[in-house]
């Protein structure tokens, strides 16, 4: 069986494990979605009626089997708060989150690669010192603070970008999502720069690079075709792991920039005890993390022909 197919099959036990943990955890937290809907006007009769309507009066294990049975038929259940399918809510929000993740990754690469090359080309020189030190600010500053600084500068003062939101159409998304994606990229870049710089320096000391230089390969071509191509592999692993963390971290950025994504949906649903949506979003997050890890491994194999995962 091919490597990719095997890895995709691994999704199944991961998903089942996630459903068990999330289902029972969210039900263990005190708090009642019926009371969220009914507010302070809740009467015991009204609460009991909503519980009956939603099946929350059944034993927990029987609620779990019902959830699993629906899941096997592609049904994530119905939002207790909005009365629509949890999957439709998630699908509506997923594009915004995917935009954030992909756009932030692209920007992180655009920032990291040239800076790492700049640093590696003059080891321990002034450029190297600056490139190593300055991005650490991005690592140290809380993302929400970086976000607000960018908004003040580029949305309020210079009015180049909107303050928040997702925008309409591809052009609208590119403009509206630039600042939130840049906020994330500023946090991602320092780690990628340092990793890429370190592996570039390691590659620069290799015999084949010395051979290429002595054969007269120009500096730029040497860096891009020989050094970068070999040095990027460990950095891809670092990037892949951080994107996995980023998926959970979308909550903060989506909150600051009012992006209608899955992270924001998750927080709202937890507060409202909207069990089906919490379960659905957690499953989506788990699947995304597994897929990103898979993509990282595939990229690894693509860039390095020596790496083969098939037996």
The site for other proteins (CB under 8 A) is made up of: 29-33, 35-43, 45-46, 49-50, 79, 82-84, 89, 92-93, 148, 151-152, 155-156, 159, 162-165, 255-258, 260, 264-265, 268, 271-273
> CA-CA distance, 259 to 251, in Å (whole number)?
9
Closest separation between CB of residue 155 and other proteins, Å?
5
What is each CA distance from 186 to 144, 253, 265, 287, in whole angstroms?
Answer: 12, 12, 24, 25
Closest separation between CB of residue 40 and other proteins, Å?
7
User: Which residue number, 160 or 303, has a Cβ lying nearer to other proteins?
Assistant: 160
User: Which residue number, 3 or 82, has a Cβ lying nearer to other proteins?
Assistant: 82
Closest separation between CB of residue 35 and other proteins, Å?
5
Please answer whether residues 257 and 97 qualify as being in contact, where contact means their C-beta atoms are separated by less than 8 angstroms: no
What is each CA distance from 12 to 98, 206, 241, in whole angstroms?
Answer: 22, 42, 21
Closest separation between CB of residue 165 and other proteins, Å?
7
User: Which residue number, 89 or 284, has a Cβ lying nearer to other proteins?
Assistant: 89
Closest separation between CB of residue 271 and other proteins, Å?
6
User: Which residue number, 40 or 170, has a Cβ lying nearer to other proteins?
Assistant: 40
The total number of residues written for the chain in this structure: 311
User: Which residue number, 54 or 300, has a Cβ lying nearer to other proteins?
Assistant: 54
DSSP H helices in the chain: 3-28, 33-38, 44-54, 60-72, 86-121, 126-133, 135-140, 143-151, 169-176, 178-204, 207-214, 219-221, 229-256, 262-272, 275-303
The helix/strand/coil state of 167 is coil
Closest separation between CB of residue 306 and other proteins, Å?
47
Q: Which among 162, 157, 150 is positioned nearest to 187, based on CA atoms? A: 150
User: Which residue number, 51 or 127, has a Cβ lying nearer to other proteins?
Assistant: 51
């Amino acid at each position: 069986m091919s490597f990719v197919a095997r890895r995709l099959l691994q999704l199944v036990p991961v998903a089942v494990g996630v459903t068990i943990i999330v289902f029972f955890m969210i039900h263990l937290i005190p708090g009642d979605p019926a009371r969220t809907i009914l507010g302070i006007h809740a009467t015991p009769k009204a609460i009991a009626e909503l519980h009956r309507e939603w099946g929350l009066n059944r034993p927990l294990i029987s609620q779990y089997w019902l959830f699993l049975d629906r899941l096997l038929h592609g049904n994530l259940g119905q939002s207790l708060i909005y009365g629509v399918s949890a999957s439709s809510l998630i699908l509506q929000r997923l594009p915004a989150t995917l935009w954030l993740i992909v756009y932030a990754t692209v920007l992180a690469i655009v920032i990291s690669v040239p800076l790492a090359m700049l640093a590696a080309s003059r080891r321990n020189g002034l450029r190297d010192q600056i490139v190593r030190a300055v991005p650490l600010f991005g690592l140290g500053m809380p993302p929400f603070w970086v976000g607000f600084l960018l908004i003040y500068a580029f949305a309020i003062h210079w009015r180049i970008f909107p303050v928040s939101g997702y925008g309409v159409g591809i052009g609208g998304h590119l403009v509206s999502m630039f600042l939130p994606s840049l906020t994330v990229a500023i946090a991602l870049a320092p780690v990628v720069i340092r990793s890429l710089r370190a592996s570039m320096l390691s590659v620069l000391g290799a015999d084949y690079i010395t051979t290429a230089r002595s054969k007269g390969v120009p500096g730029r071509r040497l860096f891009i075709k020989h050094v970068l191509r070999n040095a990027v592999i460990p950095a891809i692993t670092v990037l892949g792991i951080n994107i996995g963390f980023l998926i959970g971290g979308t909550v903060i950025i989506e909150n600051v920039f009012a992006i209608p994504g899955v992270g924001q949906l998750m927080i709202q649903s937890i507060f409202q005890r909207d069990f089906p949506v919490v379960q659905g979003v957690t499953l989506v997050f788990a699947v995304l993390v597994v897929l990103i890890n898979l993509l990282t491994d595939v990229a690894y194999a693509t860039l390095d022909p020596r790496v083969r995962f098939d037996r």
